[in-house]
Structures are given as C-alpha cells and as structure tokens.
Structure 1
C-alpha cells in the first residue's frame, strides 16, 4: 500500500511538472530533463511511469480534458436556463484555465501535437446541446444561430486560455482575473444574443 501511494504521488508530481513546463515552453520546448528537475525525481522514476515524452504529454492531455468534461457534465446537469448554463460553463472553464496548468497545457498540447484530439471536444458538445435547448426555449434572438454562438464560445475560451497563461506569469495584481474578464465580455455580447435586457452586472457562475 505504501509503495502504491508513493508511486501515485510520483506520477502526479511528474504530470504536474510536465504541465507547468509545457504551459511555459510548449511541447517542443519541454524536455524530460527539465521535467525531472522541476519535479525533483530521477530519470529512472520517470521512465518507470512514462517511457517517452509523448506518453507523458498524453497523460497531461487526458487529465486536462477530464477536468473540462467534469465541469461540462456538472453544468449541464443543472436545471436553470440553457443560455445561462452556456455562460456558466465558459466561466468555469475560465476558472480552470486560470488555476490549473494541467488544463492550460492540455489545451496547448491539442494545438501543438498533430493528430491530437481537440481539447474543446471535452466541452463543446455540451455547448451545442445547451444552445439548441436555448433556441427551443426562446432564449436566443431570432436572428442569431446557435452555431454562431458556439463559434463565439470557442473563440472566447481560446482567448481566455491565452489571457490566463499571460496572467499566470505576471505580477500585475490590477489585471482582472480570467473569470472576471470573460464575464465582462459576456455582458457586452448578450446585448446582441438575447432578446432580453442584460442584467446590471456581469454574469457569474451559479454555485
């Protein structure tokens, strides 16, 4: 049992160190030597768990996608308005991207590794489903197509990834969090999406 727990901690440390390196340097700029130095683990311990950099990157992508999928499942299980759920989902993704380098790295790896599954595949189907429901419920402006809003969501989340990565390396405390920034953008966008008047403040995720 103790050996299994130690192995699990080692594996988690390697994934975290790899994610932080990939987040800063990209897949090509990350070496296994940098990962083991950051994790304080020997090369032998690394290769016991991951025989190649590609295998390690696969695990980072898997964990980052799982985190996003879990958020999508949680949000879509709610009973509130579907359009609000779309907003909630993007804000929760923004929180993940800001707080978790594994998630940021999963999104980056999906772009940088040919043939990798898109990170958006973990959450975009939920967006399409929610927007279809929002249209049926009359929550969208008649002239606005759900697929157009879905494209907007993809761009917003991609921009949030870049913003969150830049914010993670800055000491400028006056710079708004990714969640706050995205909430402000949604407040602006809603005036052209919803037939209803936007609320006085930026949308926030439901608890």
Structure 2
C-alpha cells in the first residue's frame, strides 16, 4: 500500500469512527481520543487529518451530504413520473439512514452542533421536495386545488419527523412506514388520473440501488438493530 493509500484508508477509518461516536454521543460529548482509538490510530494521526473536533464533524457532514445527494439524483433520473421519483427518493433516503452511520451522524450533527455547518441538509431536502411538487403541477399530475407549497411542507414535515423518530426506533425508517405515509398522502396530492399509476411502496430498482450491503432491498429483509447494521457495514 502506498503512502497516499494509507493516508486515505486512515482518513476513512477516522470518518467511520467519528460517525459512530457522534451518532451515539452527539457533538458535545464526543472525544477526539475516542475517535482516534475507535479508528485504531494514534491521536497524532487524527490531528494530521483534522485540526479540531469541528473539522472532523464537518467532514462527516460533507460525506453524508454527498451520499444523500447522490441517492436523490439517482432516484430522480430513472425516467419515472415526478411523484413516483419523489416516493422512491423518500424510501431510499430512509433506507440509507437506517443502514449508514455516516448519514445518521451527519444529519444529527447538522441539526445539533454549535459549529457553523457548511451544508444544511434539511433545507436541501425541503428544496428538493418543493421542486418535485412544482414539476408535478407543471406536468398535470398534482390534484386540482392542491397547493404545491402546502404539499411540499406536509411531506417535508412528515419525512423529517420519521427521520427523528427513527433514531429511537428504526421501524419508523422501514418500507412499511414510508408506504403507509404515501398511501395516506397520495389521494390528497395526486391527480386522479395519476394516482393509480403510482406505487407508494417505491419501485424495486430504486430500492435496490440504495439498499443495504449486498444490494438487497430493505423491503425484503428483516430490519436489523442499529448496532447490527453498523457491524454489517
């Protein structure tokens, strides 16, 4: 392994250890010594890559943002109606939050930390949902009389709530939970002609693209505990 490869591997191990620490303890209680020992490296190796705890947190947030943006882009680029793409995106993002400790930690840090984050993941998600409903109105798939802004606010609030509840009970992040949400919402937001063609369970190819290690869909496996999911990663 070259020096550059060793440095990249060390940084990756530090990010994973930091994510686990922030996910379990939050920013304020996290210790740099715990992060370095969790990665199996010395405190000096940590400080070679990151000057401060805030820098480590910012790196975890940035990695979470890259993952979430990539998943959202993939779900939107599959040539499906915009509302189906939005449904798929919510399933894939919930699935990733369940399986990926970096994503979970990034979302927690983005919400809780006192440092000035370089990204605002929830505002990005709100913008994504607003854009989807604006496009749905333009393509005629939004129910007559349904305000795109009101629909976006409802979906944003519901999905943000599911993410928060999922911290204590991962069942909230399950395919069943998201399916129930969309079964309730679709009659209110989708035009009658579009409603019948939408699958509140999400489409299998999107779920497979964002699934747990091994590529299986989260809807076809028994949910694991968070600790088990982290070990699987």
Query: Comparing 110-119 with 181-190, which one deviates more in the overlay?
Result: 110-119
1:190 aligned to which of 177, 186, 190: 186
Identify the residue that residue 59 of structure 2 maps to in structure 1. 59
Q: Is the 8 A contact 2:36 2:42 kept in 1?
A: yes
1:99-123 CA-to-partner distances (Å, cap 9, x unmatched) read 1111111111111134323113444
Q: Is the 8 A contact 2:165 2:172 kept in 1?
A: no
Alignment of 1:3-152 (within 5 A): 3-114=3-114, 115-116=116-117, 117-152=119-154
Say which SS state the counterpart of residue 154 (structure 2) adopts.
Answer: helix
Identify the residue that residue 156 of structure 2 maps to in structure 1. 154
Q: Is the 8 A contact 1:65 1:122 kept in 2?
A: no
Identify the residue that residue 202 of structure 2 maps to in structure 1. 204
Query: So what's the TM-score if we normalise by structure 2?
Result: 0.78
Q: Is the 8 A contact 1:23 1:165 kept in 2?
A: no
Unaligned runs of 5+ in 1: 169-174
1:61-106 CA-to-partner distances (Å, cap 9, x unmatched) read 0000011111121122221111111111111111111111111111
Query: So what's the TM-score if we normalise by structure 1?
Result: 0.87
Q: 1:34 to 1:183 in 2, by over 3 A?
A: same
Q: Is the 8 A contact 1:88 1:205 kept in 2?
A: yes
Q: 1:110 to 1:36 in 2, by over 3 A?
A: same
Say which SS state the counterpart of residue 141 (structure 1) adopts.
Answer: coil
- In structure 1, C-alpha distance between the alignment counterparts of 2:166 and 2:144, rounded to whole Å: 33
Identify the residue that residue 164 of structure 1 maps to in structure 2. 166
1:200 CA drift (Å): 10
Identify the residue that residue 172 of structure 1 maps to in structure 2. none
1:48 CA drift (Å): 0.6
Q: Is the 8 A contact 1:191 1:198 kept in 2?
A: no
Query: Comparing 180-189 with 157-166, which one deviates more in the overlay?
Result: 157-166
Q: 1:88 to 1:121 in 2, by over 3 A?
A: same
Q: Is the 8 A contact 2:163 2:173 kept in 1?
A: no
Query: Comparing 138-147 with 45-54, which one deviates more in the overlay?
Result: 138-147
CA RMSD between the two structures: 2.2
- In structure 2, C-alpha distance between the alignment counterparts of 1:125 and 1:142, rounded to whole Å: 22
